[in-house]
Structure 1
Amino acid sequence: MNILRDILYKVTLEKVVGNTGVAIRELQFDSREIGLDDVFIAIKGTVSDGHEYIEKAVNQGALAVVCETMPKHIVNGITYVQVADSQQALAMMAANYYGNPSESIKLVGITGTNGKTTISTLLYNLFTAAGFECGLLSTVKILVGRTGYKATHTTPDSLTINKYLAKMVAAGVEFCFMEVSSHGIHQKRTEGLHFTGGIFTNLSHDHLDYHKDFKEYRDVKKKFFDDLPKSAFALTNIDDKNGNVMLQNTSAKKYTYALKSYADYKAQILENQFSGLLLKINNNELWVRLIGSFNAYNVLAIYATAELLGLEQMETLQLLSTLESVDGRFQFSISAREKITAIVDYAHTPDALKNVLETINAIRTGNETLITVVGCGGDRDTTKRPKMAHIASQLSTKAIFTSDNPRTEDPEAIIEEMEQGVPPENYKKTLSVTDRKQAIKTACQLAETNDIILIAGKGHETYQEINGKRTDFDDFKIVNQLLTALNK
């Protein structure tokens, strides 16, 4: 039985009307989900204000309401709790409701612009291979042991996080690796969680449709490290100019990793090929099946984290050598007859696209044509569109601009905004094909023996969203089907 006053533990209360000693059933922040004896937490969201639905929630059977502003109409028998911040209250209440599961697991959060999914997923794979029961909360999937659940956000809402952490505790999970997004931190979804460690990957242009400016985006990421306890570790990429910023006010034990700077964990790239990387990590040579300098950073962060979590060095090195790339992250195949290399990558920021293209250019001999298919998402940061197109046109032999997930925007208008970033000397190198499948088909038709096709932006996603409707769309499947058909 859950008593309301117990669920409100550590929540800063401003005013209470009614009895907090009542037994409640579930916590809800969506009025449509309210059932008898539930608690409704009214949250001021970016689209709607939950306070407008308090009356509806009470009519549907809510026994208690948590809100920032008391409603004008108070119903007898209903408990009203006024708090300063409903999002923060939800996070604390969710943790209490599920028995504070993060305190019973070694929870590691990974934040930064790029690399979160790769690092969290490969840490899960590595520790699972080492014989531990593990959990994963990522963009791609949620895993409790080996049982998978569908993920809808990079960082789920507080209730979802704690629900799955509680499942992990029940399943005997020892380690959980979790992507921590700037949205999740800003919306206080991670408040009330006890982290064993935090990892900072890098910071570049992203989510400026949500955050006011780059400084706010950076400071939100920094807050995650500010809130880490003394018992935790804070591991940061010191090669990134914001790496040190993350550590400025943290109470956690500080560690650094780098390829270019002096650091606690240092790596050097000895060989970089399509088949993998030969690295030297703290004087140990290691071959991994991951590609590119950005993955060298990811591998180094994984190596450091494994050591900080107590894994033996030689076992870590051996397990790292067996890891495969994550779906949609530099995922590639080579066509049987024409030997055309098709690469699918989630690169949806200027920095990520630049990293992937520079990696390909560093590996290829120069005799192959590099054709890049890229789009930009609708209802998202518009300022990165011309930058993405500029990079694609500059670093590719041919760039094809197309739709990503247009959502509610006109896809052709998005492409026009992208085209503004193409310098005049690169006009002849670009094409615009609005239909994404047709754009991929065009790339396949243009490609000749040994050429390289990069399809960027959607990566692991298996859908395309147009005007609120999602249809099946898998870049990797489509390019392989088209290459197979063309090679017959």
Structure 2
Amino acid sequence: MTYSELISFCNPMSVQGRAPETLGNLRNDSRSVKQGDIFIAIRGLQVDGHSYLEDALERGASVLITEEEFDVQKENVAVIVVQNTRNLLSPLAQKMAGDPAKKLRIIGITGTNGKTTVATLVWQALRYLNQPAALLGTVSKRINDEEMESRLTTADPIELADDMNKMVKAGCTYLVMEVSSHALHQGRVIGIDFEVAAFTNLSHDHLDYHSSMEEYAATKKILFDNLSDTSWAVINADDRYAGFMVDDTQAKVLDISLRGSALINAIVEEASAEVTIVGVEGVKIHSPLVGQFNASNIVQALIICTSLGFDGRTVAEQLSKCKGAEGRMERVSINGDDPDLPIIFVDYAHTPDALENVASTLAGLKSSDQQLTVIFGCGGDRDRTKRPKMAAVAEKYADHVTVTSDNPRSEDPDAIIHEVVTGFSDGYSYNTVTSRKDAIHTVISDSDGNDIILIAGKGHETYQEINGNRVHFDDREEASTALSWKRGQIKNSEVY
């Protein structure tokens, strides 16, 4: 992009200074600015990029894009003043990267729960269909079969454009991406055309960021409001916000239901700890994913793929092979099943609705002589109102509950636990163990083959955030270690 093209694209209110000798990369973090780069100042919730204009200059920025006048004394530095830098950032990032989004068929999935599973299932199905496809989401970034770490559900616009450019260069045709409410509210996907957008559900979450459920829903709705009349909207009609999401959309709507109340109706024909069989319009999917809530995710993945033009029966065959996302009802075992050891699942459930989905599923699958234990905690510096609600859900479905730490961040973990346990009813017996490691090991040590254990809240995460530091921690690793110790304990007792 030339300087004159940059000016034209920004549609500025004013331009100051002289044309720079060089035009480097676009940056929205002054710390990453190098000689000749363009620095765009974004007003955030906690930090205003306009406070770092001088820092960007000192690091060699040749162009400053701002919302306010800024007097620059240096030669060959330009100031471009625009009305809204946040709304400009995503389209400009795409333009400077060569418009990679226009070279991809993009599928966006939003909702409180299930978006990671649906996105992963669609990506896995596309790969089984021998399609070059990328995935962007909470658990990982994947370009075809190459995996990269993902720190945000939806990356910032500059990183997103850079990732899309890599996908195009790798020959990808499809991009399946999760679209968070934060990303929609902050304009991170402005100017990106989605061929398919899907809505999973909406429940209590992120109310530390959004002022109310109404605002949260309205933010999710942005994705569907911006669809064109050539796009598809795949909607979970069983959620009470389904109609609201597509009220103003121009897209063609495909709504699905497990209750017989939509254009496309599905039925769960079998549900066990090993398989979920779902029938959809004469097509059957035998999925290894567990639970009624996953049946909805499976159906959405099927309909997303058919809206892209693939044959439904062929997609169903591929979905039967798909295992979904890591840390979502993921079974932890060592060297196969052992009847003397507990059955353990790890799940990312960190909202009341998500915990209800997984806990109710396991409660429904257990036999009369089995006991369900739930281990969970709540994150620090996040919505505090959901903490007691999580306790109430755990009490409703579990025979035993242990409350522990999650990611306490800057909060005192014991104070978080104290707020959680206020949600238990009077007289209900529960355990609290502040150390998550100790909680997992203690529960597994005290269990046997009649126990089902759900470790909820962190799922795929391989860290804990404590006082600004990320320390390695993986629920699956700890559960495996505890199971190995338990098996050794059993073997030793058999010797005597």
Asked if Structure 1 and Structure 2 have the same fold, meaning a TM-score greater than 0.5 normalized by the shorter chain, the answer is yes
Are the equivalent residues in 1 in contact too, given 2:21–2:76 (CA < 8 A)? no
The question of 1:412 aligning with 2:417 is answered: no
Deviation at 1:266, TM superposition (A): 1.6
**Which of 340, 355, 358 is the aligned partner of 1:356?**
358
Deviates more, 1:3-12 or 1:450-459: 3-12
Residues in 1 aligned to 2:19 and 2:399: alpha-carbon distance in whole angstroms: 66
1:154 match: 153
The one-letter code sitting in structure 2 at the alignment partner of 1:378 is: G
Deviation at 1:92, TM superposition (A): 1.2
Are the equivalent residues in 2 in contact too, given 1:36–1:60 (CA < 8 A)? yes
**Which of 363, 373, 376 is the aligned partner of 1:374?**
376
2:37 match: 38
1:435 match: 435
2:493 match: none
1:288 match: 287
**Cα gap change, 1:5 to 1:256, in 2 (>3 Å):** farther
Deviation at 1:72, TM superposition (A): 5.1
Residues in 1 aligned to 2:8 and 2:426: alpha-carbon distance in whole angstroms: 61
1:462 match: 462
Deviates more, 1:85-94 or 1:30-39: 85-94
1:73-152 matched pairs, under 5 angstroms: 75-152=74-151
Deviates more, 1:189-198 or 1:82-91: 82-91
Identity score, percent:
37
SS of the equivalent of 1:248 reads coil
Are the equivalent residues in 2 in contact too, given 1:5–1:21 (CA < 8 A)? no
**Cα gap change, 1:9 to 1:105, in 2 (>3 Å):** farther
The question of 1:384 aligning with 2:383 is answered: no
**Cα gap change, 1:215 to 1:5, in 2 (>3 Å):** farther
Residues in 2 aligned to 1:397 and 1:9: alpha-carbon distance in whole angstroms: 65
SS of the equivalent of 1:440 reads helix
Name segments (4+ residues, structure 1) moved above 6 Å.
Answer: none
Are the equivalent residues in 2 in contact too, given 1:237–1:243 (CA < 8 A)? yes
Residues in 2 aligned to 1:216 and 1:76: alpha-carbon distance in whole angstroms: 46
Residues in 2 aligned to 1:245 and 1:117: alpha-carbon distance in whole angstroms: 22
The one-letter code sitting in structure 2 at the alignment partner of 1:211 is: H
The one-letter code sitting in structure 2 at the alignment partner of 1:141 is: S
Residues in 1 aligned to 2:161 and 2:5: alpha-carbon distance in whole angstroms: 16
Are the equivalent residues in 2 in contact too, given 1:102–1:195 (CA < 8 A)? no
Deviates more, 1:392-401 or 1:409-418: 392-401
**Cα gap change, 1:281 to 1:10, in 2 (>3 Å):** farther
Deviates more, 1:451-460 or 1:223-232: 223-232
2:297 match: 298
Deviation at 1:336, TM superposition (A): 2.3
TM-score (normalizing by structure 1): 0.96
The one-letter code sitting in structure 1 at the alignment partner of 2:172 is: V
SS of the equivalent of 2:192 reads coil
Deviation at 1:472, TM superposition (A): 1.2
Residues in 1 aligned to 2:111 and 2:322: alpha-carbon distance in whole angstroms: 22
2:492 match: none
Are the equivalent residues in 2 in contact too, given 1:8–1:92 (CA < 8 A)? no
Are the equivalent residues in 2 in contact too, given 1:185–1:223 (CA < 8 A)? yes
SS of the equivalent of 2:54 reads helix
2:476 match: 476
The question of 1:344 aligning with 2:346 is answered: yes
1:323 match: 322
2:494 match: none
The one-letter code sitting in structure 1 at the alignment partner of 2:348 is: Y
Are the equivalent residues in 1 in contact too, given 2:198–2:234 (CA < 8 A)? yes
Are the equivalent residues in 2 in contact too, given 1:4–1:22 (CA < 8 A)? no
Residues in 2 aligned to 1:102 and 1:256: alpha-carbon distance in whole angstroms: 26
Residues in 1 aligned to 2:69 and 2:384: alpha-carbon distance in whole angstroms: 38
Residues 199-224 of structure 1 deviation map (CA, whole Å, 9 limit, x = unaligned): 00000001001111111110000011
1:57 match: 56
Count of residues in Structure 1 that have an aligned counterpart in Structure 2: 485
Deviates more, 1:343-352 or 1:95-104: 95-104
Residues 280-333 of structure 1 deviation map (CA, whole Å, 9 limit, x = unaligned): 111223211111011001000001011000111221111011111321000013
The one-letter code sitting in structure 1 at the alignment partner of 2:483 is: L
Deviation at 1:70, TM superposition (A): 2.1
Deviation at 1:96, TM superposition (A): 0.4
Are the equivalent residues in 2 in contact too, given 1:106–1:196 (CA < 8 A)? yes
Deviation at 1:405, TM superposition (A): 0.5
1:238 match: 237
Residues 406-448 of structure 1 deviation map (CA, whole Å, 9 limit, x = unaligned): 011000000000011111142x1x1110000001112112322
Deviation at 1:19, TM superposition (A): 4.9
TM-score (normalizing by structure 2): 0.95
Residues in 2 aligned to 1:71 and 1:388: alpha-carbon distance in whole angstroms: 49
Deviation at 1:377, TM superposition (A): 0.4
SS of the equivalent of 1:424 reads coil
The question of 1:171 aligning with 2:170 is answered: yes
Are the equivalent residues in 1 in contact too, given 2:20–2:78 (CA < 8 A)? no
Residues 62-118 of structure 1 deviation map (CA, whole Å, 9 limit, x = unaligned): 011111222355644321112222221111110100111111110010000011111
1:422 match: 424
**Cα gap change, 1:318 to 1:192, in 2 (>3 Å):** same
Residues in 1 aligned to 2:221 and 2:299: alpha-carbon distance in whole angstroms: 21
The question of 1:397 aligning with 2:399 is answered: yes
Residues in 2 aligned to 1:50 and 1:131: alpha-carbon distance in whole angstroms: 44
Residues in 1 aligned to 2:422 and 2:14: alpha-carbon distance in whole angstroms: 54
Residues 360-408 of structure 1 deviation map (CA, whole Å, 9 limit, x = unaligned): 1111113211110000001111111110111112211011000000011
1:256-267 matched pairs, under 5 angstroms: 256-267=255-266
The one-letter code sitting in structure 1 at the alignment partner of 2:62 is: L
Are the equivalent residues in 2 in contact too, given 1:238–1:261 (CA < 8 A)? no
SS of the equivalent of 2:302 reads helix
The question of 1:314 aligning with 2:316 is answered: no
1:14 match: 13
Residues in 2 aligned to 1:264 and 1:99: alpha-carbon distance in whole angstroms: 39
Are the equivalent residues in 2 in contact too, given 1:137–1:155 (CA < 8 A)? yes
Residues in 1 aligned to 2:101 and 2:7: alpha-carbon distance in whole angstroms: 17
Deviates more, 1:382-391 or 1:226-235: 226-235
SS of the equivalent of 2:13 reads strand
SS of the equivalent of 1:299 reads helix
**Cα gap change, 1:348 to 1:4, in 2 (>3 Å):** farther
Structure 1: 5+ residue runs without aligned partners? none
**Cα gap change, 1:14 to 1:285, in 2 (>3 Å):** same
Residues in 1 aligned to 2:389 and 2:241: alpha-carbon distance in whole angstroms: 21
2:491 match: none
Residues in 2 aligned to 1:245 and 1:20: alpha-carbon distance in whole angstroms: 48
Deviates more, 1:170-179 or 1:74-83: 74-83
Are the equivalent residues in 2 in contact too, given 1:3–1:20 (CA < 8 A)? no
Deviation at 1:464, TM superposition (A): 0.9
The one-letter code sitting in structure 1 at the alignment partner of 2:310 is: L
